A and B are shown apart, each in its own frame.
Chain A
Amino acid sequence: MKINKDVVEYVAHLGRLELEPHEAELYTSQLDRILEHMDTLNALDTEGIEPTSHAVPVSCVLREDISRESLSVEGSVSNAPDRKGSFFKVPPVIEVD
């Protein structure tokens, strides 16, 4: 076994996902097989090889610092599931006694 249910549940928490018990079990067996397949990469010697993170060489792209029109405030918040005026509304983040 490459992975067990506890690890799947922990990783799901890191990814901010709640899982139903049957989902955790299903994912554990499926991910185990997938990770096993991924371990085939270990057969390759990659010592000294530079990793590729982008298919084409990407350098830092700079532009002139000129102000221009951007998304309006209304456009930015118009899709919020809950809002107050021009603000996004979320459940309390800090506990107050």
Chain B
Amino acid sequence: MENILDMNIMELRGLLKNGKISSVELTRFYLDRVKKHDQAVQAYLRLTEEAAMEMAREADRRIKEGEEGPLLGIPFGIKDIFCAKGLETTCGSQILKGFVAPYDGTVIKKLKERHYVHLGRVNMDEFAMGSSTENSSYQTTRNPWDLERIPGGSSGGSAAAVAAGLCVASLGTDTGGSIRQPASLCGVVGMKPTYGRVSRYGLVAFASSLDQIGPLARNVTDCAVVLEAIAGYDPMDSTSIPQPVPDYTQYLGKEIKGMKIGIPKEYMIEGIEPDVKQAVAESLSCLEGLGATLVDISLPHTEYAVATYYIICTAEASSNLARYDGVKYGMRVEGKDIIDMYKKTRMKGFGKEVKRRIILGTYVLSSGYYDAYYGKAGKVRTLIRKDFEDAFAQCDIIATPVSPTTAFKIGEKVEDPLQMYLSDIFTIPVNLAGLPGMSVPCGLDRAGLPVGLQIIGKPLDEGRMLQTAFALEKERKVKSVPDRFRS
């Protein structure tokens, strides 16, 4: 059974179809693994064991009747930010404790239509605000490669669960790097698609002009298969793009000869760990060896991205999070009048980082400061977008590190929010420009911690990114699932 961890969804589908394994067995295999290993990793907030077994039995019935589908009977762990009818959705926050979603969001609906198996809900930074999953109000998830270290964030539960082999794949969200950074730090594949490629209906909002849903998986093939299942236009999300979804798997295995890969000089900043630099450089040589051409490019406004991002995302968050007022759902703390009730509820219900961002966002939007901060950031965002447009005139894709460092120690950066924000320097510009970006494992540092390569594409060019990532994966053969979780 253990080599199941190394199979991709296509291979699993073959086993399911031929009756070599049933979805019930596959689901039991993963549930048993969660029970055995999750005490160490703490990726799961809640298991939905009964529902999972029922979904698996239903999948088996359908497989027997000859039904085919890429996700039929495949077990997922889902970030606790997606509304699924009848399931608790806390977003890592006390303020939503006990909130039971009354409807299915679009991505959940799509997965249900494909008869996936929902194993449970995985941990995240509260309201997806954070880079380490330490801002979850429930538990501290650990990096499977070193349990003293953070898994990255905000989709840290997703990345850790996939890396430790506690599900086949996961859905995460990425506002400033929240899929790519934990994917990189946990050695898994993670993709943030083009803004608008995947519907956000039923996703608990953080910063609406930046949030995007995407897959985390142990290999590029699974990433492609899951992306194809969740992508597409949705009338319930007015920002979703009305373009057909290509067959992403057709890009896998296509050669990358002649592809022009842009290397931005501004990303070679001080503070990149030498081992990260080396793993990235080796991967680029590897791609060059496969016939790609490396092109020097410039993204001159990179150094302004973090400031721009934290103005825009906190502004949008302060507005989006106004809905948690102790009236419609979640927690309420009584007060002497309604305003007092709001204030006490929000004081008790939100964690430190969320409050910090609400205050910051309210400040940058407040009269007298609006032009200097929010107004200015919107203009700089235009410049950052234009940087990428100019760069893509010279190359097909862009390659960079995902994170300047490998996974840091638990507690190392919690007291210094600015330091934590600056660790997102390479992922944030992609969200500001609305581009697709992914992380693919490209090596290990000398301590054995994973390093990810970021591949950035033109709008809606996810296919070419997957093509490149697949080529690299085949050559570099970076191990997934650390040894201690192999048993």
Residues of A within 8 A of B (CB): 3, 7-8, 11-20, 23, 27, 30-31, 33-35, 37-42, 44, 46, 49-56, 58, 61, 63, 71-72, 75-76, 78-82, 88, 90-93
Q: Does B308 contact A (CB under 8 A)?
A: yes
Residues of B within 8 A of A (CB): 98-100, 102-103, 194-196, 209-210, 235, 238-239, 241, 301, 303-304, 306-308, 310-311, 318, 322, 325-332, 334-335, 337-344, 346-347, 350, 352, 355-356, 358-364, 366, 373, 375-383, 385, 417-418, 421, 431-435, 459
Are A92 and B337 closer than 8 Å at their CB atoms? yes
Are B383 and A46 closer than 8 Å at their CB atoms? yes
Closest to A80 in B: B328
List 12 additional A-B contacts (Cβ < 8 Å) besides A14-B362, A37-B307, A81-B329: A7-B363, A30-B417, A31-B360, A31-B363, A34-B360, A49-B379, A54-B209, A54-B434, A56-B196, A79-B329, A80-B328, A93-B338
Closest to A60 in B: B238
Are A55 and B347 closer than 8 Å at their CB atoms? no
| Alpha-carbon gap, A75 to B103, bound state (A) | 8
B340 partner residues in chain A, CB cutoff 8 A: 18
> Could you list some 29 contacts between A and B, CB below 8 A?
A11-B363, A12-B359, A17-B355, A23-B352, A30-B417, A30-B418, A31-B359, A34-B417, A38-B310, A44-B304, A44-B380, A46-B376, A46-B380, A46-B383, A50-B382, A52-B381, A55-B196, A55-B431, A55-B432, A56-B239, A56-B459, A58-B239, A71-B102, A79-B98, A79-B328, A80-B328, A81-B326, A81-B331, A92-B338
A79 partner residues in chain B, CB cutoff 8 A: 98-100, 102, 328-330
CB distance from A19 to the nearest CB of B (A): 7
Closest to B306 in A: A37
Are B346 and A17 closer than 8 Å at their CB atoms? yes
A30 partner residues in chain B, CB cutoff 8 A: 356, 417-418
- How many CB-defined contacts (below 8 Å) exist between A and B? 169
Closest to B301 in A: A44
Are A49 and B383 closer than 8 Å at their CB atoms? yes
Are A40 and B307 closer than 8 Å at their CB atoms? yes
Q: List 10 tightest A-B contacts by C-beta distance, closest first.
A: A55-B434, A51-B378, A75-B102, A79-B329, A81-B332, A46-B379, A18-B343, A15-B362, A61-B238, A18-B347
Known: A50-B379, A50-B382. A16 touches B343 (CB 8 A): yes
CB distance from B130 to the nearest CB of A (A): 15
Known: A33-B418, A37-B306. A16 touches B327 (CB 8 A): no
B364 partner residues in chain A, CB cutoff 8 A: 38
Are B380 and A41 closer than 8 Å at their CB atoms? yes
CB distance from B433 to the nearest CB of A (A): 6
